[in-house]
Amino acid sequence: MMNQPLAERLRPRTLDDYIGQKHLVGQGAVLRKMIDAGRVPSFILWGPPGVGKTTLAQIISNKLEAPFYTLSAISSGVKDVREVIEKAKSNRFFNTVSPILFIDEIHRFSKSQQDSLLNAVETGVVTLIGATTENPSFEVIRPLLSRCQVYVLKSLDKDDLLTLLNKAVKEDIVLKDKNIELKETDAILRYSGGDARKLLNILELVVSAEETETIEITDEKVVERLQENPAAYDKGGEMHYDIISAFIKSIRGSDPDGAIYWLARMVAGGEDPEFIARRLVISASEDIGLANPNALLLANACFDALEKIGWPEGRIILAETTVYLACSPKSNSAYMAINDALALVEKTGNLPVPLHLRNAPTALMKELDYGKEYKYAHDYKGNFVNQEYLPKEVLNQRFWKGQSNPAEQKLVEHMKRLWGDRF
């Protein structure tokens, strides 16, 4: 056990030892109640790295005294899924708790892999616990998602991290024999980025480099050790978020050199290429938008090409897209339009759809004048007719405001020809 990493040695075995996620597993919380009752449904844990997703699954299995099977979406195929389900069937006895199947990084499972789980989850052959760092609404197929609850785990807050730090230096089988003083903690907390595993890895890194009897943990020492460590770039920690932020801001600021530099930092640090590609697609819509609609096409093609080409050649595709986006004219008019519209929807609620815009698939709806006054634009000159498309309560609202770039000014001029002073 002494040869295990600190994070593994300190892995909690019970809910009482589990740090963080009180909204889920604190006394009286929703998931805690189900665990204590001995019955849990299939569910997906969604949250950043190092917040206890795997640990929580193992604790639940121990608490329920259920067989525990685990698969990694990176190394397992459909055949592996089916083999585990067959094992689960053979280990299921009358009136016993369903075996738990834990799938780490379930967002990386293909559609066929996820399809192979459906029947076993639906019939209770296994209780599925999936873990993901990505939004399951986008990454998990709808039939599987509909059979699972989704619980959101949060990054550990300062109090949680300090609790864990003190536990490590006082209770760990190795560290408790050393005279460790937590003199300053700002840097170690900041670099951990709310990730318990990262926090403990940094602590272990600093302690292992010290040869004195008394070991002081200071901010200067933490920064120095991390700069010396080639693995300091952590895909889940603060540096990860700082560098992707610098990357996107360089694109937004039309600096291709800055953008390429931060791209190189991510590539050298082992960042997930798909994560970078997703951010390029977002930037193409949020920061470039209608000023150059081709940017979104190229960013989406970049994402698709990465899947076909793979690594390391994929870095060239990312670089091409990065330079193109950085050099493109910028507009956030679509981004601002949807934000303004959402704010109005939140303020005004579910306003009724005007009768002339409603669909009328039944005779009763036609009798109620659904769609009666609707004017079909293609029946009019120029494929346009002046009519209202907003609820009467918000008729004068404007959401999209074209910005000052050649592409959008063409759209604005076209809108003015159609709508006059409205634009």
Contact 344, 394 (CB under 8 A): yes
Per-residue pLDDT at 95: 53
| Cα–Cα distance, 284 to 151 (Å, whole number) | 30
pLDDT band for position 234 (50/70/90)? low
* Beta strands 127-132 and 149-152, pairing class: unpaired
**Nearest one of 62, 82, 73, 78 to 107, comparing CA atoms:** 73
Per-residue pLDDT at 46: 92
How many helices and strands (H and E) does the chain possess?
21, 7
Per-residue pLDDT at 322: 95
| Range with the poorest average pLDDT among 80-94, 257-271, 303-317 | 80-94
Sign of CA dihedral 413, 417, 420, 423: negative
Crossing angle for the helix pair 314-327 and 294-309, to the nearest 10 degrees: 170
Contact 385, 375 (CB under 8 A): yes
| Cα–Cα distance, 412 to 423 (Å, whole number) | 7
pLDDT in tens, 298-337: 999 999 998 888 878 889 999 999 999 999 999 999 999 9
Per-residue pLDDT at 249: 92
* pLDDT of 174 strictly over 50: yes
pLDDT (average), residues 287-301: 93
Cα maximum dimension of the chain: 88
Residue with tokens 């795997």: 54
* pLDDT of 18 strictly over 90: yes
Tokens, residue 423: 């634009």
* pLDDT of 233 strictly over 60: no
Per-residue pLDDT at 104: 87
| Cα–Cα distance, 65 to 97 (Å, whole number) | 8
Contact 325, 258 (CB under 8 A): no
Mean pLDDT over all residues of the chain?
Answer: 86
DSSP per-residue string spanning 72-129: ETTT--HHHHHHHHHHHHHT--TTPPPPEEEEETGGGS-HHHHHTTHHHHHTTSSEEE
pLDDT in tens, 129-170: 999 988 888 778 888 998 899 999 988 999 999 999 999 999
The dihedral formed by the CA atoms of 24, 30, 32 and 34, expressed in degrees to the nearest 10: -140
| Cα–Cα distance, 40 to 37 (Å, whole number) | 8
Where helices occur in 328-383 by DSSP H, the ranges are 333-348, 363-367
pLDDT (average), residues 76-93: 81
Per-residue pLDDT at 240: 65
* pLDDT of 17 strictly over 80: yes
pLDDT (average), residues 245-261: 91
- Higher-confidence residue: 81 or 260? 260
pLDDT in tens, 29-60: 989 999 888 888 999 999 888 899 999 999 99
* pLDDT of 237 strictly over 70: no
Per-residue pLDDT at 165: 93
pLDDT (average), residues 289-294: 92
| Cα–Cα distance, 422 to 241 (Å, whole number) | 41
Residue with tokens 């083999």: 83
| Cα–Cα distance, 37 to 34 (Å, whole number) | 5
DSSP state of 286: I
Per-residue pLDDT at 239: 61
- Higher-confidence residue: 8 or 364? 8
Sign of CA dihedral 307, 309, 313, 317: negative
Is the entire prediction scored with pTM above 0.85? no
**CA contacts within 13 A on the Cβ side of 196:** 30
* pLDDT of 230 strictly over 50: no
